[in-house]
Amino acid sequence: MTEPTVDAPGYPAEFAERYRAAGWWRGETFGGMLRERAERHPDRVAVVDPAAGGRRWTYGELDARADRLAAGFLARGIGKGDRVVVQLPNIAEFFEVIFALFRIGALPVFALPAHRETEIRHFCSFTEAAAYVVADVVEGYDYRVLADKVRAEVPGLKHVLVVGEPGEHTALADVATEPVTIPDPPLPHELAFLQLSGGSTGVPKLIPRTHDDYIYSLWGSNEICGVDENSVYLCALPAAHNFPLSSPGTLGALYAGARVVLAPRPSPDVAFPLIERERVTITGLVPPLALVWTEAAAAGDHDLSSLDVLLVGGAKFSEEAARRVRPALGCTLQQVFGMAEGLVNYTRLDDPEETIVTTQGRPISPDDEIRVVDDEDNDLPTGGTGHLLTRGPYTIRGYWRAPEHNAASFTADGFYRTGDVVRRTETGHIVVEGRAKDQINRGGEKVAAEEIENHILAHPAVHDVAVVSMPDDYLGERTCAYVVLREGAGPVKSVAVKKFVRERGLAAFKVPDRVEFVAAFPQTGIGKVSKKDLRAAIAAQLRATTPKP
Ligand code: AMP
Ligand code: DBH
Question: Measuring from each residue's beta carbon to the nearest atom of ligand 1, which residues come in under 6 Å?
Answer: 197-198, 242, 313-316, 335-341, 360, 418, 420, 432, 435, 441, 446
Given a contact cutoff of 8 angstroms between Cβ atoms, the answer to whether 278 and 259 are in contact is yes
Residue 128's pLDDT is what?
98
Given a contact cutoff of 8 angstroms between Cβ atoms, the answer to whether 210 and 5 are in contact is no
Element (H, E) at 464: strand 462-472
Size of the chain, expressed as the number of residues it contains = 549
Give CA–CA dist 354/67, Å, rounded: 48
Residue 421 CB neighbours (<10 A): 16
Give CA–CA dist 287/281, Å, rounded: 19
Give CA–CA dist 152/144, Å, rounded: 12
Q: Which atom of ligand 2 is nearest to the CA of 337?
A: 6
Residue nearest ligand 1's atom 3 by CA = 198
Look up residue 129 and give its amino acid.
Answer: A
CB-based burial label for 212 (10 Å; 0-12, 13-18, 19+): buried
Residue 546's pLDDT is what?
78
Query: Quick one: which of 278, 281, 226, 236 has its CA closest to 256?
Result: 226
Could you list the pLDDT tens digit for every one of the 549 residues in the chain?
Answer: 444 567 999 999 999 999 999 999 999 999 999 999 999 999 999 999 998 789 999 999 999 999 999 999 999 999 999 999 999 999 999 999 999 999 999 999 999 999 999 999 999 999 999 999 999 999 999 999 999 999 999 999 999 999 999 999 999 999 999 999 999 999 999 999 999 998 888 888 999 999 999 999 999 999 999 999 999 999 999 999 999 999 999 999 999 999 999 999 999 999 999 999 999 999 999 999 999 999 999 888 999 999 999 999 999 999 999 999 999 999 999 999 999 999 999 999 999 999 999 999 999 999 999 999 999 999 999 999 999 999 999 999 999 999 999 999 999 999 999 999 999 999 999 999 999 999 999 999 999 999 999 999 999 999 999 999 999 999 999 999 999 999 999 899 999 999 999 999 999 999 999 999 999 999 999 999 999 999 999 999 999 997 766
* Residues pairing with 435 in the sheet: 420
Contacts 24+ apart (CB under 8 A), 521-526: 521/464, 521/466, 521/482, 521/484
Sheet holding 369-373, edge to edge: 369-373, 386-391, 416-424, 430-435
Residue nearest ligand 1's atom 12 by CA = 420
Structural domains for the chain: 57-186 (3.40.50.980), 439-545 (3.30.300.30)
Q: Which atom of ligand 2 is nearest to the CA of 446?
A: 1
Residue nearest ligand 1's atom 15 by CA = 314
Mutate to test the pocket of ligand 2, among 339, 416, 418, 440 (most ligand atoms within 8 A of CB): 339
